[in-house]
Chains A and B, each alone.
Chain A
């Protein structure tokens, strides 16, 4: 059963990465609790547009929790208070009538603000370009059973492959570190036979690019794991630490 609630929103508004931003307060009335967080923002934006004001910019695409486009820090927590969920899959029934919600963009040096809640995450793309791929021969698809993969490696690689690259790990990390993102990608590819030929260069190049983009170092606070909408384990960070050490020793 859905019901209607009233909320006070304090939303970060910023024109672009060069001009300083500030919070603006809006009253979101008659919010249906069956709405997702993004639908609630759409609703508020409609109101703002009617009033002739600039709507709130936020990133979104699939709205099914699979693309990794959406995300904002709600009351100090990336993707809001519900664990294992993206912002688009967070529904308003998890909030109380009369509650105040502080909505901020991901904040990190490597994620400059585009506008309002939208941040530039192309630093992630450049990390992927540095080594997040495998090289295969073109031609016919190989026989699926030609390369046996141990069950444990397959399971771990699948867990790591769940990463949708939303950046919540960076937003949650007290050091703005991207180790969970990069660790997942390294694990996903290095664990499988298909990724083995470029195993060493992959981890070296991706970590190099990660540092170059200005992400921080890992202090093992494990906030990333808790914030990850796909609940990816920090064991992938440990795996990357090991892979990196082994790749560095000639």
Chain B
């Protein structure tokens, strides 16, 4: 009874969502080392990699969490489409309350994040750390060089920021939603909504600041 109920599925989505939020947060923290210059940034990346096989455990865990989140949301979304009785429902549809745009596009923002993550992993994580992409002024700068060379391109930057905005929208609804799904709704629920919005904004600004910084730095 527990395993396939609607509430159970939503609580799995909420819990995995929370874990993904922790990851996103630490990931941003790590990325911000770029402001400290190539030495610090690379030694951070290097330290992370030097843990070697130990890194496999958190990576696998993260992968599993991601897959669970997606699997359960797919189940939930398919059920919801069926439950409302087809795709087109009312001939005139109007929000009664203040249904947020962020909430209504959750499956799409999720999908954008998914596409982005796949690309992002291939682009940065699997890149040859000392290949041509890491070269700046004729010398390899490791991961720093790769990031620098990618973000030099304004089209790449805009695309990156575009996807980050979808992450922001996902979190904007997601953070406060997971609190409600987990069974907490204090009198100050509006404060939670506010925290949710500001957290999402912080993530958008944090992640977007890096391509903007690199782009400005790369200008002659």
* CB nearest to A76 among chain B residues: B94
Give 10 closest A-B pairs by Cβ, nearest first: A226-B97, A242-B183, A216-B83, A76-B94, A238-B185, A175-B80, A176-B83, A241-B183, A176-B84, A76-B92
Query: What is the bound-complex CA distance between A77 and B89, given in angstroms?
Result: 12
User: How many Å from the CB of B133 to the closest CB on chain A?
Assistant: 41
Beyond known contacts A175-B84, A207-B5, A218-B10: 17 more, CB 8 A cutoff: A10-B91, A75-B92, A75-B94, A107-B89, A173-B84, A174-B84, A176-B84, A204-B1, A215-B6, A217-B80, A219-B103, A223-B97, A234-B180, A239-B185, A240-B183, A241-B11, A242-B184
User: What are 16 sample pairs from A and B whose C-beta atoms fall under 8 A apart?
Assistant: A23-B91, A73-B90, A76-B94, A78-B96, A83-B96, A104-B92, A175-B79, A211-B4, A214-B83, A215-B83, A216-B79, A219-B177, A222-B98, A238-B184, A240-B183, A245-B183
Contacts of B167-220 to chain A: CB distance below 8 A = 173, 176-177, 180-185, 189
For the complex, is B85 an interface residue (Cβ under 8 Å from A)? yes
Please determine whether A177 and B83 come into contact, CB atoms closer than 8 angstroms.
yes
B interface residue count range (under 10 / 10 to 19 / 20 to 34 / 35 or more): 35 or more
Contacts of B1-25 to chain A: CB distance below 8 A = 1-2, 4-11
For the complex, is B104 an interface residue (Cβ under 8 Å from A)? yes
Give the most central of A175, A210, A242: most B CB within 10 Å. Answer: A175
For the complex, is B139 an interface residue (Cβ under 8 Å from A)? no
Please determine whether A102 and B92 come into contact, CB atoms closer than 8 angstroms.
yes
Query: What is the bound-complex CA distance between A219 and B9, given in angstroms?
Result: 11
Find chain B residues with CB under 8 A from A234 CB. Answer: 180, 185
Given contacts A217-B79, A235-B189, contact A245 B11 (CB under 8 A): yes
For the complex, is A189 an interface residue (Cβ under 8 Å from B)? no
**B residues at A contact (CB < 8 Å):** 1-2, 4-11, 76, 79-80, 82-85, 89-100, 103-104, 106, 173, 176-177, 180-185, 189
For the complex, is A38 an interface residue (Cβ under 8 Å from B)? no
Find chain A residues with CB under 8 A from B90 CB. Answer: 73, 76, 104, 107
Please determine whether B79 and A241 come into contact, CB atoms closer than 8 angstroms.
no
Find chain B residues with CB under 8 A from A245 CB. Answer: 7, 11, 182-183
Query: What is the bound-complex CA distance between A83 and B104, given in angstroms?
Result: 22
Find chain A residues with CB under 8 A from B176 CB. Answer: 220
Please determine whether B96 and A77 come into contact, CB atoms closer than 8 angstroms.
yes
For the complex, is A44 an interface residue (Cβ under 8 Å from B)? no
Give the most central of B83, B96, B176, B185: most A CB within 10 Å. Answer: B96
Q: Interface SS of chain A: helix, strand, loop or mixed? A: mixed
Query: What is the bound-complex CA distance between A199 and B99, given in angstroms?
Result: 32
* CB nearest to B179 among chain A residues: A238
* A223: contacting residue among B82, B91, B95, CB under 8 A: B95
For the complex, is A172 an interface residue (Cβ under 8 Å from B)? yes
Please determine whether B181 and A241 come into contact, CB atoms closer than 8 angstroms.
yes
**A residues at B contact (CB < 8 Å):** 10, 23, 73, 75-78, 83, 102, 104, 107-110, 172-177, 204, 207-208, 210-211, 214-223, 225-227, 234-235, 237-245, 248
User: How many Å from the CB of B67 to the closest CB on chain A?
Assistant: 19
* A241: contacting residue among B85, B94, B182, CB under 8 A: B182
* CB nearest to B107 among chain A residues: A219
Please determine whether B99 and A174 come into contact, CB atoms closer than 8 angstroms.
yes
Find chain B residues with CB under 8 A from A174 CB. Answer: 80, 84, 99, 104
User: How many Å from the CB of B195 to the closest CB on chain A?
Assistant: 15
Query: What is the bound-complex CA distance between A210 and B100, given in angstroms?
Result: 26
Find chain A residues with CB under 8 A from B185 CB. Answer: 234-235, 237-239
Query: What is the bound-complex CA distance between A176 and B94, given in angstroms?
Result: 15
Query: What is the bound-complex CA distance between A139 and B22, given in angstroms?
Result: 57
Find chain A residues with CB under 8 A from B4 CB. Answer: 211
